[in-house]
Protein backbone atom coordinates (compact mmCIF):
# COMPACT_ATOMS: atom_id res chain seq x y z
CA UNK A 1 0.00 0.00 0.00
CA UNK A 2 1.43 3.38 -1.01
CA UNK A 3 2.36 5.63 1.89
CA UNK A 4 3.89 9.12 1.68
CA UNK A 5 6.12 9.96 4.66
CA UNK A 6 9.28 11.82 5.65
CA UNK A 7 12.54 10.37 4.36
CA UNK A 8 14.54 8.55 7.05
CA UNK A 9 18.20 7.57 7.18
CA UNK A 10 17.30 3.91 6.55
CA UNK A 11 15.66 4.90 3.24
CA UNK A 12 18.74 6.52 1.70
CA UNK A 13 20.34 3.36 0.20
CA UNK A 14 17.12 2.60 -1.72
CA UNK A 15 16.76 6.25 -2.71
CA UNK A 16 20.30 6.31 -4.07
CA UNK A 17 19.60 3.18 -6.14
CA UNK A 18 16.66 4.93 -7.80
CA UNK A 19 18.82 8.02 -8.28
CA UNK A 20 21.45 5.94 -10.12
CA UNK A 21 18.82 4.31 -12.34
CA UNK A 22 17.44 7.65 -13.53
CA UNK A 23 20.10 10.38 -13.48
CA UNK A 24 23.44 10.58 -15.30
CA UNK A 25 24.89 12.61 -12.40
CA UNK A 26 23.23 11.07 -9.33
CA UNK A 27 23.46 12.43 -5.82
CA UNK A 28 25.61 10.45 -3.38
CA UNK A 29 24.39 8.93 -0.11
CA UNK A 30 26.27 11.69 1.72
CA UNK A 31 24.40 14.37 -0.25
CA UNK A 32 21.08 12.90 0.83
CA UNK A 33 22.27 12.53 4.45
CA UNK A 34 23.33 16.19 4.51
CA UNK A 35 20.10 17.40 2.87
CA UNK A 36 17.87 15.43 5.25
CA UNK A 37 19.73 16.67 8.32
CA UNK A 38 18.99 20.34 7.50
CA UNK A 39 15.81 21.38 9.34
CA UNK A 40 14.98 23.88 6.59
CA UNK A 41 14.62 21.08 4.03
CA UNK A 42 11.75 18.68 3.42
CA UNK A 43 12.46 15.22 1.99
CA UNK A 44 9.67 12.72 1.36
CA UNK A 45 9.49 9.14 0.13
CA UNK A 46 6.68 6.98 -1.20
CA UNK A 47 6.82 3.53 0.37
CA UNK A 48 5.03 0.37 -0.74
CA UNK A 49 5.31 -2.31 1.96
CA UNK A 50 8.97 -1.58 2.67
CA UNK A 51 9.99 -0.70 -0.87
CA UNK A 52 10.82 2.93 -1.70
CA UNK A 53 9.04 3.70 -4.96
CA UNK A 54 9.76 7.44 -5.26
CA UNK A 55 11.09 10.50 -3.47
CA UNK A 56 11.03 14.27 -3.53
CA UNK A 57 13.14 17.00 -1.91
CA UNK A 58 12.52 20.69 -1.16
CA UNK A 59 14.88 23.37 0.16
CA UNK A 60 13.16 26.34 1.82
CA UNK A 61 14.65 29.84 2.13
CA UNK A 62 12.75 33.00 3.13
CA UNK A 63 9.33 31.86 1.90
CA UNK A 64 10.60 30.25 -1.29
CA UNK A 65 10.78 26.51 -1.93
CA UNK A 66 13.21 24.99 -4.43
CA UNK A 67 12.39 21.43 -5.51
CA UNK A 68 15.81 19.78 -5.79
CA UNK A 69 14.94 16.12 -6.34
CA UNK A 70 11.96 14.34 -7.83
CA UNK A 71 12.01 10.73 -9.04
CA UNK A 72 9.82 7.64 -9.27
CA UNK A 73 11.22 4.12 -9.70
CA UNK A 74 10.72 2.99 -13.34
CA UNK A 75 8.74 -0.07 -12.19
CA UNK A 76 6.21 2.10 -10.33
CA UNK A 77 5.45 4.82 -12.85
CA UNK A 78 1.95 5.75 -14.06
CA UNK A 79 0.46 5.06 -10.63
CA UNK A 80 0.09 8.70 -9.54
CA UNK A 81 3.10 8.51 -7.19
CA UNK A 82 4.73 11.68 -8.49
CA UNK A 83 1.54 13.66 -8.01
CA UNK A 84 1.02 12.22 -4.52
CA UNK A 85 4.56 13.28 -3.56
CA UNK A 86 4.08 16.78 -5.00
CA UNK A 87 0.74 17.30 -3.27
CA UNK A 88 2.16 16.26 0.11
CA UNK A 89 5.26 18.39 -0.50
CA UNK A 90 3.07 21.41 -1.20
CA UNK A 91 1.13 20.87 2.05
CA UNK A 92 4.30 20.57 4.12
CA UNK A 93 5.92 23.50 2.34
CA UNK A 94 2.94 25.73 3.15
CA UNK A 95 3.26 24.68 6.80
CA UNK A 96 6.82 26.05 6.63
CA UNK A 97 5.46 29.35 5.27
CA UNK A 98 6.51 28.67 1.67
CA UNK A 99 4.37 30.66 -0.75
CA UNK A 100 6.36 30.19 -3.99
CA UNK A 101 7.68 26.85 -5.33
CA UNK A 102 10.38 26.52 -8.00
CA UNK A 103 11.39 23.54 -10.12
CA UNK A 104 14.30 23.92 -12.54
CA UNK A 105 13.80 22.00 -15.79
CA UNK A 106 15.48 21.72 -19.17
CA UNK A 107 14.35 24.25 -21.77
CA UNK A 108 12.93 21.40 -23.87
CA UNK A 109 10.78 20.22 -20.98
CA UNK A 110 9.07 23.50 -20.03
CA UNK A 111 5.89 22.76 -21.97
CA UNK A 112 5.50 19.32 -20.39
CA UNK A 113 5.75 20.82 -16.91
CA UNK A 114 3.15 23.54 -17.54
CA UNK A 115 0.93 21.50 -19.84
CA UNK A 116 1.03 18.19 -17.99
CA UNK A 117 -0.39 15.07 -19.61
CA UNK A 118 -2.56 13.08 -17.24
CA UNK A 119 -4.17 9.74 -17.93
CA UNK A 120 -7.20 7.95 -16.55
CA UNK A 121 -6.65 4.32 -15.53
CA UNK A 122 -9.82 2.21 -15.69
CA UNK A 123 -10.11 -1.33 -14.29
CA UNK A 124 -13.14 -3.60 -14.41
CA UNK A 125 -12.54 -5.40 -11.12
CA UNK A 126 -15.34 -7.94 -11.50
CA UNK A 127 -17.92 -8.96 -14.09
CA UNK A 128 -20.41 -11.25 -12.32
CA UNK A 129 -24.01 -10.44 -11.53
CA UNK A 130 -25.98 -11.73 -8.53
CA UNK A 131 -23.22 -13.84 -6.94
CA UNK A 132 -19.44 -14.25 -7.16
CA UNK A 133 -18.09 -17.25 -9.06
CA UNK A 134 -14.73 -19.05 -8.87
CA UNK A 135 -13.40 -17.08 -11.86
CA UNK A 136 -15.60 -13.96 -11.57
CA UNK A 137 -15.90 -11.40 -8.80
CA UNK A 138 -19.02 -9.27 -8.55
CA UNK A 139 -19.25 -6.32 -10.93
CA UNK A 140 -17.24 -3.30 -9.83
CA UNK A 141 -15.23 -0.55 -11.50
CA UNK A 142 -12.18 1.35 -10.24
CA UNK A 143 -10.50 4.38 -11.78
CA UNK A 144 -7.30 6.27 -10.95
CA UNK A 145 -6.56 9.85 -11.91
CA UNK A 146 -4.03 12.33 -10.61
CA UNK A 147 -3.40 10.33 -7.41
CA UNK A 148 -7.11 9.88 -6.62
CA UNK A 149 -9.05 6.63 -6.97
CA UNK A 150 -12.79 6.23 -7.51
CA UNK A 151 -14.80 3.04 -7.07
CA UNK A 152 -18.25 2.21 -8.43
CA UNK A 153 -20.07 -0.55 -6.52
CA UNK A 154 -18.58 -2.81 -3.88
CA UNK A 155 -20.05 -6.28 -3.73
CA UNK A 156 -18.76 -9.29 -1.85
CA UNK A 157 -15.06 -9.85 -2.67
CA UNK A 158 -14.39 -6.46 -4.26
CA UNK A 159 -11.44 -5.77 -1.97
CA UNK A 160 -9.92 -9.11 -3.00
CA UNK A 161 -10.22 -8.07 -6.65
CA UNK A 162 -8.43 -4.79 -5.84
CA UNK A 163 -5.67 -6.71 -4.08
CA UNK A 164 -5.32 -9.11 -7.01
CA UNK A 165 -5.02 -6.14 -9.34
CA UNK A 166 -2.27 -4.67 -7.17
CA UNK A 167 -3.85 -1.24 -6.83
CA UNK A 168 -3.72 0.65 -3.55
CA UNK A 169 -6.58 1.13 -1.09
CA UNK A 170 -5.32 4.35 0.51
CA UNK A 171 -6.09 6.71 -2.46
CA UNK A 172 -9.77 5.64 -2.70
CA UNK A 173 -11.46 9.01 -2.23
CA UNK A 174 -14.91 8.32 -3.71
CA UNK A 175 -17.19 5.26 -3.73
CA UNK A 176 -20.34 5.46 -5.88
CA UNK A 177 -23.18 2.98 -5.65
CA UNK A 178 -25.60 2.24 -8.47
CA UNK A 179 -28.16 0.75 -6.05
CA UNK A 180 -28.40 -1.22 -2.82
CA UNK A 181 -28.84 -4.83 -3.86
CA UNK A 182 -26.37 -7.00 -1.94
CA UNK A 183 -24.20 -7.86 -4.96
CA UNK A 184 -23.38 -4.15 -5.31
CA UNK A 185 -22.75 -3.05 -1.71
CA UNK A 186 -22.25 -5.99 0.68
CA UNK A 187 -18.44 -5.79 0.43
CA UNK A 188 -18.34 -2.25 1.83
CA UNK A 189 -17.66 -2.98 5.55
CA UNK A 190 -14.55 -5.03 4.81
CA UNK A 191 -13.30 -2.52 2.26
CA UNK A 192 -13.66 0.39 4.70
CA UNK A 193 -11.70 -1.52 7.34
CA UNK A 194 -8.95 -2.27 4.81
CA UNK A 195 -8.80 1.39 3.77
CA UNK A 196 -8.47 2.26 7.46
CA UNK A 197 -5.59 -0.20 7.83
CA UNK A 198 -3.79 1.60 4.98
CA UNK A 199 -3.22 4.58 7.33
CA UNK A 200 -5.82 6.74 5.63
CA UNK A 201 -7.14 9.63 7.71
CA UNK A 202 -8.68 11.82 4.98
CA UNK A 203 -12.48 11.62 4.52
CA UNK A 204 -13.99 9.20 2.01
CA UNK A 205 -17.04 10.38 0.05
CA UNK A 206 -19.88 7.94 -0.62
CA UNK A 207 -22.41 8.63 -3.39
CA UNK A 208 -25.65 6.76 -4.01
CA UNK A 209 -29.47 6.85 -4.20
CA UNK A 210 -31.60 8.17 -1.35
CA UNK A 211 -31.16 6.10 1.81
CA UNK A 212 -27.38 5.81 1.50
CA UNK A 213 -26.54 6.88 5.06
CA UNK A 214 -29.16 4.48 6.47
CA UNK A 215 -27.89 1.51 4.45
CA UNK A 216 -24.23 2.22 5.22
CA UNK A 217 -25.08 2.75 8.89
CA UNK A 218 -26.62 -0.71 9.05
CA UNK A 219 -23.61 -2.31 7.32
CA UNK A 220 -21.22 -0.55 9.69
CA UNK A 221 -22.53 -2.49 12.68
CA UNK A 222 -19.60 -4.82 11.91
CA UNK A 223 -17.20 -1.95 11.06
CA UNK A 224 -18.01 0.71 13.66
CA UNK A 225 -14.60 2.34 14.12
CA UNK A 226 -12.77 3.99 11.26
CA UNK A 227 -9.81 6.43 11.34
CA UNK A 228 -11.47 8.64 8.71
CA UNK A 229 -14.77 10.44 8.24
CA UNK A 230 -17.44 9.25 5.82
CA UNK A 231 -19.20 11.96 3.82
CA UNK A 232 -22.52 11.18 2.14
CA UNK A 233 -24.04 12.50 -1.09
CA UNK A 234 -27.55 11.12 -1.55
CA UNK A 235 -29.05 11.30 -5.03
CA UNK A 236 -32.71 12.30 -5.22
CA UNK A 237 -33.11 13.87 -8.67
CA UNK A 238 -33.19 12.21 -12.11
CA UNK A 239 -29.85 13.85 -12.93
CA UNK A 240 -27.20 15.26 -10.58
CA UNK A 241 -23.69 16.63 -11.07
CA UNK A 242 -20.79 16.21 -8.64
CA UNK A 243 -17.28 17.70 -8.88
CA UNK A 244 -14.65 16.04 -6.70
CA UNK A 245 -10.87 15.53 -6.90
CA UNK A 246 -10.68 16.37 -10.60
CA UNK A 247 -13.56 14.03 -11.47
CA UNK A 248 -16.72 15.51 -13.00
CA UNK A 249 -19.42 12.95 -12.18
CA UNK A 250 -22.83 12.90 -13.83
CA UNK A 251 -25.27 10.63 -11.99
CA UNK A 252 -28.40 9.71 -13.96
CA UNK A 253 -31.40 7.63 -12.98
CA UNK A 254 -32.00 4.38 -14.86
CA UNK A 255 -34.78 1.75 -14.75
CA UNK A 256 -34.44 -1.17 -12.32
CA UNK A 257 -36.62 -2.84 -9.68
CA UNK A 258 -35.25 -0.36 -7.09
CA UNK A 259 -33.82 3.17 -7.32
CA UNK A 260 -30.72 2.85 -9.49
CA UNK A 261 -28.24 5.26 -11.09
CA UNK A 262 -25.65 5.15 -13.85
CA UNK A 263 -22.53 7.31 -13.78
CA UNK A 264 -20.55 9.24 -16.38
CA UNK A 265 -17.08 10.19 -15.21
CA UNK A 266 -15.40 13.00 -17.12
CA UNK A 267 -11.92 14.48 -16.87
CA UNK A 268 -12.00 17.95 -18.45
CA UNK A 269 -8.88 19.29 -20.12
CA UNK A 270 -7.87 22.90 -19.93
CA UNK A 271 -6.39 24.78 -22.85
CA UNK A 272 -2.72 24.67 -23.71
CA UNK A 273 -0.33 26.93 -21.79
CA UNK A 274 1.34 29.27 -24.28
CA UNK A 275 4.94 29.53 -23.08
CA UNK A 276 5.95 31.96 -25.85
CA UNK A 277 3.00 34.23 -25.07
CA UNK A 278 3.93 34.23 -21.38
CA UNK A 279 7.48 35.28 -22.27
CA UNK A 280 6.27 37.87 -24.77
CA UNK A 281 4.08 39.45 -22.09
CA UNK A 282 6.99 39.22 -19.63
CA UNK A 283 4.90 37.36 -17.09
CA UNK A 284 7.12 36.29 -14.16
CA UNK A 285 7.74 32.54 -14.19
CA UNK A 286 6.58 32.17 -10.61
CA UNK A 287 3.06 33.08 -11.81
CA UNK A 288 2.93 30.43 -14.53
CA UNK A 289 1.76 27.53 -12.40
CA UNK A 290 -1.10 29.48 -10.82
CA UNK A 291 -2.23 30.82 -14.19
CA UNK A 292 -2.17 27.32 -15.66
CA UNK A 293 -4.53 26.23 -12.87
CA UNK A 294 -6.99 29.02 -13.65
CA UNK A 295 -5.97 31.51 -10.96
CA UNK A 296 -5.49 35.26 -11.34
CA UNK A 297 -2.13 36.50 -10.01
CA UNK A 298 -1.02 39.94 -8.89
CA UNK A 299 2.73 40.67 -8.70
CA UNK A 300 4.18 44.11 -7.94
CA UNK A 301 0.88 45.79 -8.76
CA UNK A 302 0.39 44.03 -12.12
CA UNK A 303 -2.53 41.62 -12.54
CA UNK A 304 -2.13 38.53 -14.73
CA UNK A 305 -5.17 36.47 -15.78
CA UNK A 306 -5.35 32.93 -17.22
CA UNK A 307 -6.87 34.09 -20.51
CA UNK A 308 -3.61 35.88 -21.26
CA UNK A 309 -1.72 32.60 -21.66
CA UNK A 310 -4.26 29.75 -21.89
CA UNK A 311 -5.81 28.41 -25.09
CA UNK A 312 -9.35 27.07 -25.54
CA UNK A 313 -10.38 23.96 -23.54
CA UNK A 314 -9.39 20.72 -25.26
CA UNK A 315 -11.14 17.35 -25.51
CA UNK A 316 -11.11 15.55 -22.18
CA UNK A 317 -11.80 11.94 -21.22
CA UNK A 318 -15.14 10.28 -20.49
CA UNK A 319 -16.19 6.88 -19.13
CA UNK A 320 -19.83 5.88 -18.65
CA UNK A 321 -20.89 2.98 -16.41
CA UNK A 322 -24.36 1.53 -15.98
CA UNK A 323 -25.69 -1.76 -14.77
CA UNK A 324 -28.97 -3.33 -13.59
CA UNK A 325 -31.31 -1.47 -15.89
CA UNK A 326 -33.51 -1.61 -18.95
CA UNK A 327 -32.46 0.49 -21.95
CA UNK A 328 -33.51 4.12 -21.32
CA UNK A 329 -32.90 7.41 -23.11
CA UNK A 330 -30.90 8.79 -20.18
CA UNK A 331 -28.16 6.23 -20.87
CA UNK A 332 -27.78 7.35 -24.48
CA UNK A 333 -27.77 11.02 -23.49
CA UNK A 334 -25.15 10.60 -20.78
CA UNK A 335 -22.95 8.10 -22.60
CA UNK A 336 -22.81 10.30 -25.73
CA UNK A 337 -19.31 10.22 -27.24
CA UNK A 338 -17.80 8.39 -24.27
CA UNK A 339 -14.29 7.07 -24.76
CA UNK A 340 -15.42 3.92 -22.93
CA UNK A 341 -18.94 2.69 -22.21
CA UNK A 342 -19.20 -0.11 -19.63
CA UNK A 343 -22.68 -1.57 -19.70
CA UNK A 344 -24.51 -4.51 -18.22
CA UNK A 345 -25.15 -7.53 -20.42
CA UNK A 346 -26.99 -9.90 -18.15
CA UNK A 347 -28.05 -12.21 -20.98
CA UNK A 348 -26.26 -13.10 -24.19
CA UNK A 349 -28.99 -15.37 -25.51
CA UNK A 350 -31.69 -13.66 -27.59
CA UNK A 351 -34.36 -15.98 -26.18
CA UNK A 352 -33.79 -14.37 -22.77
CA UNK A 353 -35.39 -11.11 -23.96
CA UNK A 354 -38.59 -11.63 -21.94
CA UNK A 355 -36.59 -12.54 -18.85
CA UNK A 356 -34.50 -9.38 -19.24
CA UNK A 357 -37.67 -7.29 -19.36
CA UNK A 358 -39.18 -9.08 -16.38
CA UNK A 359 -36.07 -8.64 -14.18
CA UNK A 360 -35.24 -5.18 -15.55
CA UNK A 361 -31.91 -6.13 -17.04
CA UNK A 362 -30.52 -6.09 -20.60
CA UNK A 363 -29.46 -8.47 -23.33
CA UNK A 364 -26.19 -8.05 -25.21
CA UNK A 365 -28.00 -6.76 -28.30
CA UNK A 366 -29.90 -4.12 -26.30
CA UNK A 367 -26.64 -2.87 -24.80
CA UNK A 368 -25.01 -2.79 -28.25
CA UNK A 369 -27.88 -0.67 -29.58
CA UNK A 370 -27.28 1.85 -26.79
CA UNK A 371 -23.58 2.03 -27.67
CA UNK A 372 -24.43 2.64 -31.32
CA UNK A 373 -26.94 5.39 -30.55
CA UNK A 374 -24.58 7.05 -28.05
CA UNK A 375 -21.73 6.99 -30.61
CA UNK A 376 -19.22 5.75 -28.05
CA UNK A 377 -15.65 4.80 -28.99
CA UNK A 378 -15.64 1.42 -27.23
CA UNK A 379 -17.93 -0.76 -25.10
CA UNK A 380 -17.21 -3.42 -22.47
CA UNK A 381 -20.04 -5.69 -21.36
CA UNK A 382 -20.29 -6.77 -17.73
CA UNK A 383 -22.65 -8.05 -14.99
CA UNK A 384 -23.13 -11.45 -16.60
CA UNK A 385 -25.72 -13.92 -15.37
CA UNK A 386 -24.15 -16.83 -13.43
CA UNK A 387 -25.65 -19.13 -16.11
CA UNK A 388 -23.74 -17.27 -18.85
CA UNK A 389 -20.56 -19.34 -18.79
CA UNK A 390 -18.88 -18.08 -21.98
CA UNK A 391 -20.09 -14.54 -22.73
CA UNK A 392 -17.46 -14.06 -25.45
CA UNK A 393 -19.29 -16.58 -27.64
CA UNK A 394 -22.11 -14.09 -28.17
CA UNK A 395 -19.95 -11.10 -29.11
CA UNK A 396 -19.67 -11.77 -32.85
CA UNK A 397 -23.43 -11.69 -33.22
CA UNK A 398 -23.83 -8.23 -31.69
CA UNK A 399 -20.86 -6.73 -33.55
CA UNK A 400 -23.30 -6.31 -36.43
CA UNK A 401 -24.99 -3.69 -34.23
CA UNK A 402 -21.87 -2.13 -32.67
CA UNK A 403 -18.47 -3.31 -33.83
CA UNK A 404 -16.06 -2.20 -31.08
CA UNK A 405 -17.51 -4.29 -28.25
CA UNK A 406 -15.86 -6.89 -26.02
CA UNK A 407 -17.01 -9.12 -23.18
CA UNK A 408 -15.43 -7.75 -20.03
CA UNK A 409 -13.17 -9.94 -17.93
CA UNK A 410 -12.07 -9.54 -14.33
CA UNK A 411 -9.08 -7.22 -14.13
CA UNK A 412 -9.54 -5.85 -17.68
CA UNK A 413 -7.73 -2.51 -17.70
CA UNK A 414 -7.18 0.40 -20.04
CA UNK A 415 -5.15 3.59 -19.75
CA UNK A 416 -7.06 6.43 -21.39
CA UNK A 417 -4.87 9.34 -22.42
CA UNK A 418 -5.63 12.82 -23.66
CA UNK A 419 -5.27 13.30 -27.39
CA UNK A 420 -2.08 15.00 -28.54
CA UNK A 421 -2.21 18.71 -29.04
Domain with 74 in it: what CATH number? 3.40.630.30
* Residue where a domain stops, chosen among 71, 104, 137: 104
Q: Which residue has the higher pLDDT, 94 or 337?
A: 337
Say whether both 186 and 263 belong to one domain. Answer: yes
Average pLDDT over residues 103-119: 51
Q: Which residue has the higher pLDDT, 253 or 20?
A: 253
Please indicate, yes or no, if residue 195 is contained in any of the structural domains: yes
Say whether both 78 and 187 belong to one domain. Answer: no
Which of 153, 173, 183, 324 is catalytic? The answer is: 183
Which pLDDT does position 173 carry in this prediction?
Answer: 95
Q: In what order do the strands lie in the sheet with 172-176?
A: 230-235, 204-209, 172-176, 148-152, 140-145, 119-126, 412-417
Residue 105, pLDDT > 60, answer no
Which pLDDT does position 114 carry in this prediction?
Answer: 44
Say whether both 99 and 185 belong to one domain. Answer: no
Which pLDDT does position 421 carry in this prediction?
Answer: 59
Say whether both 81 and 138 belong to one domain. Answer: no
pLDDT range class, residue 407, cuts 50, 70, 90: very high
Say whether both 14 and 63 belong to one domain. Answer: yes
Say whether both 330 and 183 belong to one domain. Answer: yes
120-142 pLDDT per residue, tens? 999 999 999 999 998 899 999 99
Which pLDDT does position 286 carry in this prediction?
Answer: 75
Q: Which residue has the higher pLDDT, 22 or 237?
A: 237
27-84 pLDDT per residue, tens? 888 889 988 988 889 999 999 989 999 999 998 876 778 888 889 998 888 778 888 8
Residue 110, pLDDT > 90, answer no
pLDDT range class, residue 108, cuts 50, 70, 90: very low
Which pLDDT does position 270 carry in this prediction?
Answer: 80
Picking from 381, 377, 367, 288, the residue whose alpha carbon sits closest to that of residue 337 is 377
Average pLDDT over residues 311-339: 95
Say whether both 345 and 235 belong to one domain. Answer: yes
Please indicate, yes or no, if residue 392 is contained in any of the structural domains: yes
Sign for the CA dihedral angle at 135, 139, 145, 149 comes to negative
Q: Which residue range forms the structural domain that includes residue 250?
A: 119-269+314-417
Say whether both 185 and 81 belong to one domain. Answer: no
Which pLDDT does position 115 carry in this prediction?
Answer: 44
Task: Tell if the pTM clears 0.75, that is, is over it.
Answer: no
Say whether both 188 and 91 belong to one domain. Answer: no
Residue 297, pLDDT > 80, answer yes
* Residue where a domain stops, chosen among 70, 104, 138: 104
Please indicate, yes or no, if residue 285 is contained in any of the structural domains: no
Say whether both 83 and 230 belong to one domain. Answer: no
Say whether both 238 and 144 belong to one domain. Answer: yes
Residues 6 or more apart from 134 whose CB is under 8 A from it? none
**Residue 346 — φ and ψ, nearest 5°?**
-60, -40
Interhelix angle 12-22/29-37, nearest 10 degrees: 120
Say whether both 186 and 64 belong to one domain. Answer: no
Average pLDDT over residues 258-269: 95
Residue 408, pLDDT > 50, answer yes
222-245 pLDDT per residue, tens? 999 999 999 999 999 999 999 998
Mean pLDDT of the chain: 90
Please indicate, yes or no, if residue 403 is contained in any of the structural domains: yes
Which pLDDT does position 62 carry in this prediction?
Answer: 66
Residue 393, pLDDT > 70, answer yes
Please indicate, yes or no, if residue 282 is contained in any of the structural domains: no
Which pLDDT does position 118 carry in this prediction?
Answer: 58
Which pLDDT does position 116 carry in this prediction?
Answer: 44
Q: How many percent of the chain have pLDDT more than 90?
A: 63
Please indicate, yes or no, if residue 274 is contained in any of the structural domains: no
* Whether residue 183 lies in the annotated active site: yes
Domain with 358 in it: what CATH number? 3.60.15.10
Q: Which residue has the higher pLDDT, 391 or 113?
A: 391
Please indicate, yes or no, if residue 80 is contained in any of the structural domains: yes
State how many domains the chain has.
2
Residue 168, pLDDT > 80, answer yes
Please indicate, yes or no, if residue 292 is contained in any of the structural domains: no
* Residue where a domain stops, chosen among 104, 138, 167: 104
Amino acid sequence: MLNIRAMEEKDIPQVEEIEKKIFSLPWSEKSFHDACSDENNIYLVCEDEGTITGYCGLWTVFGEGNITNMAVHPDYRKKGIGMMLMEEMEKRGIQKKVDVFFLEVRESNVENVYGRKYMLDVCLLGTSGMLPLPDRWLTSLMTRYNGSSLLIDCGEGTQIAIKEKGWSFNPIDVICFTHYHADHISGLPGLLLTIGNSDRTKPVTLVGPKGLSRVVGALRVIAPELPFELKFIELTKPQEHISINGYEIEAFKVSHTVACYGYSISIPRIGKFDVEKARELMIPQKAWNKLQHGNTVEIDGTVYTPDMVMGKPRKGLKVTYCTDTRPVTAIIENAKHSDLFICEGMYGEEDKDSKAKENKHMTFSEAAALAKDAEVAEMWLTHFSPSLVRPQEYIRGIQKIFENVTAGTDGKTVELQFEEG
